[in-house]
Structure 1
Amino acid sequence: MTDDLHLRETPVSRTELLKGHFLHVVRDTVRLPSGHEATREYVLHPGAVMVIGLLDDGSVVMERQFRHPMQAVMIEFPAGKLDAGEASLACAQRELIEETGYRAREWAFAGRLAPTIAYSDEIIDIWFARGLSLGERQLDEEEFLDVFTADPAQLTQWCRNGEVIDCKTLVGSMWLNNVLSGAWTLDWSGTMPADAAR
């Protein structure tokens, strides 16, 4: 194993900059490997999930949603943040139903994504779902989004030509293509790795 001591920063103190309804921003003072001190400002995040829903016809469940920071409607896989004390799989199941109306018969944990490592500790768990049945959505009153289905090849093209720029969806498309090609396998037994049960 590589010795990382020459790279590691040691926390010295923390100042809270903002604690809003969604964002929690802090400034840490750290001791650098050189012995000098520096500050690091970043967002604390409870974690999130993304769901790649596979339909029987080979298409996947997608969303179109206006994202205020981008001032644009974005194409994304269904996703959402963990509630306090909520397990990753439970969050994935809840978000899929709430945002799309779909329930899944089988689930598989794929992996993890850290989308913004320079300024947030957010980690997104990637889940696959299949055996989908459509019911009624349960959107929050402040949530507006369109649900649609897309062919994986079309999604890949959107990623290639810049219609999809959402980080988690780009990574999800990579996972999807590797799973569909057989290069990467999933465990559909429903068991969740211990480190995914946050």
Structure 2
Amino acid sequence: MHQLAKFIYYKLMGWNLVGTFPKIDKCIVIVAPHTSNLDFFLGLLIRRVLNEEFNFVGKSSLFKWPYGWYFRWMGGMPVDRTKNNNFVLACADLIKKVDRIHLTLAPEGTRKKVKQWKTGFYYIAKEAQVPIVLVAFDYGKKQIKISDAYYTSESINSDFETYKAFYKNTIGLRKDNFTIPSL
């Protein structure tokens, strides 16, 4: 499957990979831009190219019949977005309990244009004491870019400046829907 994924990604699609995924057991992986449903399938392909396992959360309706088994098999975990629950603490607790997890989140929180990113990923990483790995799906350059692992600092503003620099000039599939990170 790994070789087939590489053939599809590099030869058929003509995409490139910039950076390598850090050799760490636990982290938050933020993927942006998330402007299309096709981003999910690109994510499934790149996980096979990298030969890494990634987990993700999705709205609970995705995990119902007939596709629920598939999303769980692919590393998905359902989230009930209708309740007033503490998503940050629940995710941080989950990370602390397992030996290995690369929890992938879309910081925009939607495929639509947003004015600013949600900060939940940041506070999950801080609470769980795990690093954040930035991943850019750049449709303009036909590349996926992977950062080093960054631990949160005492300054969320400073950390977001790092994220902003990483995603600068990145183009999503629906280019008008991508917002460079801000608080």
Same fold (TM over 0.5): no
Higher relative contact order (CA 8 A, sep 6+): 2
Higher strand share: 1
From the CA coordinates, give the structure whose radius of gyration is larger. 1
Name the TM-score, length of structure 1 as normaliser.
0.25
